[in-house]
Structure 1
Amino acid sequence: MSEFREKTISGISWSVVGQVGNQVVTFVLGVILARLLSPREFGLVGMVMIFTGFAGLFSDLGLGAALVQKQDVEERHLSSVFWLNVGVGGLLAAGFAAGAPLVAEFYDEPLLTPITMVLGANFLIGGVSSVHQTLFRKKIDFKSLAVVEITTVLGSGILGALMAYTGFGVWSLVAKGLLNSALTAVFLWVMSPWTPKLMFDWDATKELMGFSLNLLGEKTINYWVRRVDDLLIGKALGSDALGLYTKSYGIMLLPTRKISGVISRVMFPSLSTIQENEERVRLVFFRMTRTIALLTFPMMLGLMAVSGSFVIGVFGDQWAGMIPLLRVFCVIGLMQSIGTLKGNLFLSQGRSDLMFRVGLFVKPILIAGIVIGLQWGVMGVAYGYSIAVFLGTYPEWRYAGQLVGFTYSDLAYDLSGIFTCAAVMGGLVYTLGLALPTEWPHWLQLLTQVPTGMVLYWALVHTFDVQAYRQTLGLLAEQWRKRMQTTASQ
């Protein structure tokens, strides 16, 4: 038990380092690019990414997650998956090179033909490094992944910013994405002790397929639910509207995906190692979920409160259309920051089949919300999607919770204290924004509201002794004592 706990804490710690570093670099470089480029250029890349993102689901056929979940992985599994990934990646790259004119014709944007052809090369690059990345995850070695992530994001981001500054326009975003994939592959190969063998065992692959194909089916449905809004907006409303929409959604995802992703990436391999102990899985899951909510709930409600000063002060007047969208997405982010974790329960318990069946029921609700909302423009899509997310939350949590013995009400009650403190803080920060002098520049309003919100939230969780806050302080104190003891003994 001690070894499991230490590996999990170490994995989370290094995942935090990687994701925080990644997030800071991504945000700073993203602001620079947003200042140098227009919503249209982000929208053009977003149009292509709808299709490349979908094809990317098939690049490893869900076999990476199957390797993590399987306890007794052998060389025949690893090498077989590697060569399958390379083959599929090559086919996808060739397919996008041939089908690029169709993408351009669909959107009536001729420039998308060369963009699609170049971005398609990412599939082949990713295919040669997928297994290496999976092995680091399986060993809960997130220190190595942190180094790779920060280095590649920084290197590719600097190239993109330099190209945007010198007038390359949309190609700066294309080059940024391509270099990120290439650097990731190079670093993973250099840092990994594993190299593939010239062997392919179809029986070994079939052993993984039962788990992976159900997961792939669920991911496919989930992907189109998440991307059908981009597809319809790009087709019906154009690249400018899509640029505003995707930028708003991306800002919402930065804190939720990075923080949830930090723990979620560690949670799946960790829970897989204790999958037979239902009570222990439940306790670990609740503790991790509380930790995430402690950070993401105030971020989402705080961002909603300062959205006006944040968008104008950081990105500039040309992005003002993001403000109402961002406010709606903050509500979605509140639910998704913990909602993304439930997949770890299905996967760690080997129930990708149940996750797929639940998705078949829930995802049409989300698609309907998007399609209905489209008739009221980009804001209608945002509202329709948020309502649908709310309606689909209960059945997903119900079946995930049944696997380890908790109900939706148990989870809601467990997180109620954190939500109340975050909501009170958000309301006070919004009121403060109304009281500030209107002649103040937006950046000064932001610098006043954000620190005030941080202090208010800390005061609330500390005063009311919120369980997640108390546990997090205890864990930090424990790790500090261990580090001091290690330093003293050296």
Structure 2
Amino acid sequence: MSLRDSVLGGLSWSLASRVGTQAFQFVFQIILARLLTPQEFGVVGMLLIFIGFAQTLADCGLSSALVYDQNATDSQFSTVFWLQVAAGAILSATFFAGAPLFASFYDTPALEPLSQLVAPIFLLQALGQTHSALLSKNFRFKQMAVVSVSSTFGSGAIAVILAKLDYGVWALAWQALITTIITTGLLWFQSRWVPSLLFNRADAIRLGKYGIYLLGHASLNYWLRNADKLAIGRFLGAHDLGIYSRAYSLMLLPLNNISAVMGQVMFPALARLQSDADRFRSAYVSATRMIALVSFPLMIGVASLCEPLILFLLGDKWSEVIPVLQILSFVGLIQSVVFPVGWIFTALGKTKDQFYLSIFLSLIFILLVGAGIFYGIVGIALGYACWTVISGWLNLYIAGRYVALPVTTVVVSLVRILGMALVMGALVFGVDQTVFAGSPTLLRLSCGAFIGATSYVAMCLLSKDATFYELSGYLSARLNLLKRISR
């Protein structure tokens, strides 16, 4: 099978995985938001900040190192497996012992037993990370789709049952733990790979040189994406954190469904093109435009219909989410096309430069978020938006130098798509605030979505946008393939 066919097949399964995973996750989160309060979501949100960071450390950047190394052997996979298990075990023990510190930091006693409950997550996750890298390296995205969808559905269903039984915040904690248990179990079953009792010190050092800078970048980048929530939880309280986290997670839905899908497939694909600069550059620009074609109208559409969207999905008690989500929607728009820059750093082995850039951006982030906190969660969202613009330009500039791709070239390639999305957003917002003002939220939402979709597609057709026709042709080909298979 050619690389192109592998990428297209991988994208199909990766997209199916994301659609299924995010659909279940979205539905379960809406149900849980109706059953629980912003305060309860905020308490678990405090804990999830540290869980996410520890999960980043557990990987040690070694999974990407295995994908990057085109000649990785079974010995190297086994070496990485035992390194990750050791890291996971240390993190689980540390997290359990540090539970009182989390409760003290936030002045929230309930965090101590909650932290102890979820402490095994890191060891459990480490047991499946090498298996996930193996599936990704071999473009076995169908198996990864089964894992992702199954774990999301299983843990979400159990969390809803627990919430209905009045377990409150514990339902959310159990959801996080059960997700990891199901994921690791299915990764072992799908990969059918069993690690050997081997540990090669030379392999560990060589892969570690790649992974250590990636780990440093991932760690800094994690806090760049979560320091705002850490500050809100510490200084503004659980209620404000619950509101902000809900806005942030809704912003991430389109971002995760598009950029992350492409990234899961494009990283191993670009790693194979690391010695062919022209094909590498062409594939990167094409993928970025394809992401923008879908993410730009989605993010601007969310900002335009934010009020009816939140009132319909979450209810009046979550109305404070509206202004925050409107700001974060534009953050998501920028991040969707900056996210692929990471493919260049990792596929070309430039993780050291990526790490140093993260250090500089961390300082800017602290200054902007620190200034914004005096104006509440809206001020923090505005500070985050300003940082996103600065970060986006610097990432594009530095990564572009490796493949002779100026920032202006990337920006110009996206101007038409952005223009069409902005026109669509203005139309949707204007009609919603005039024609449908005072109408039921479901009517406002459905009519706005219809107007937005039809107007955007019409502009793509009238402008004869090449990326639109490329994506349409790809989707048509995949649908025809599925029809033939079903027969």
- TM interval, shorter chain, is over 0.9
1:326 counterpart residue number: 325
**How far apart are the structure 2 equivalents of 1:481 and 1:112?**
51
In structure 1, the residue corresponding to 2:57 is in which secondary structure? coil
| 1:19-418 correspondence to structure 2 within 5 Å | 19-418=18-417
- After TM superposition, the structure 1 = structure 2 runs for residues 441-452 of structure 1, keeping only pairs within 5 Å, are 441-452=440-451
Q: Is this contact kept in 1: 2:81–2:127, CA < 8 A?
A: yes
- Residues 332 and 386 of structure 1 are in contact (CA less than 8 Å); yes or no, is this contact kept in structure 2? yes
> What amino acid maps onto 1:134 in structure 2?
A
**Residues in 2 aligned to 1:60 and 1:165: alpha-carbon distance in whole angstroms:** 35
* RMSD over equivalenced CA pairs, Å: 1.5
Q: CA deviation at 1:47?
A: 0.5
Instruction: Give the superposition deviation at 1:198.
Output: 1.3
Kept in 1: contact 2:335–2:392 (CA 8 A): no
Distance, in Å, in 2 between the alignment partners of 1:333 and 1:382 is 12
Q: Check if 1:454 corresponds to 2:442.
A: no
Higher mean alpha-carbon deviation, 55-64 vs 357-366, is at 357-366
**Alpha-carbon shift at residue 444 of structure 1 (Å):** 1.9
Q: Which moved more, 1:136-145 or 1:48-57?
A: 48-57
- Matched to 2:81, the amino acid is F
| Contact 2:79/2:200 (8 A) holds in 1 | yes
Query: Matches of 2:32 and 2:268 in 1, distance apart?
Result: 35
Query: Which deviations, in whole Å up to 9, do the C-alpha atoms of 1:81-121 show, x marking residues without a partner?
Result: 11111111111111111110010011110000011111111
Structure 2 distance, partners of 1:323, 1:453, is: 19
Task: Evaluate the alpha carbon distance shift between residue 101 and residue 267 of structure 1 in structure 2; reply closer, same or farther with a 3 A threshold.
Answer: same
The whole-number CA distance in structure 2 between the counterparts of 1:99 and 1:359 is: 27
Deviation string, structure 1 residues 365-400 (Cα, Å, up to 9, x no partner): 122111111111111111111011112221110111
TM-score (norm 1): 0.97
- 1:478 deviates by 4.3
Unpaired segments of 5 or more residues in structure 1? none
Q: Is the 8 A contact 2:99 2:112 kept in 1?
A: yes
- In the alignment, is the contact (CA less than 8 A) between 2:244 and 2:324 conserved in 1? yes
Aligned pair count reads: 487
Distance across 2 between alignment mates of 1:75 and 1:157: 35
TM-score (structure 2 length as normaliser): 0.98
Contact persistence 1:16–1:262 (CA under 8 A): yes
User: For 2:70, what is the secondary structure of its paired residue?
Assistant: coil
Deviates more, 1:411-420 or 1:430-439: 430-439
Identical pairs, percent: 34
SS in 2 for 1:129: helix
1:434 alignment counterpart: 433
1:59 counterpart SS class: helix
In 1, the alpha carbon distance for the partners of 2:106 and 2:472 equals 52
What's the CA shift for 1:482?
5.9
Name the amino acid aligned to 1:441. Answer: P
Deviations along 1:189-218, whole A, 9 cap, x unmatched?
A: 111121011121111111101110010111
C-alpha separation between the residues in 2 aligned to 1:235 and 1:153? 29
Shift of 1:474: 2.8
- Which segment is superposed worse, 30-39 or 385-394? 385-394
Q: Matched residues in 1 for 2:361 and 2:467: separation?
A: 30
Deviation at 1:436, TM superposition (A): 3.1
What is the rounded CA distance, in whole Å, between the counterparts of 2:93 and 2:435 in structure 1?
Answer: 56
* Distance (Å, rounded) in 2 between the aligned partners of 1:322 and 1:202: 50
Is the 8 Å Cα contact of residues 293 and 337 (structure 1) preserved in structure 2?
yes
- Partner amino acid for 2:75? R
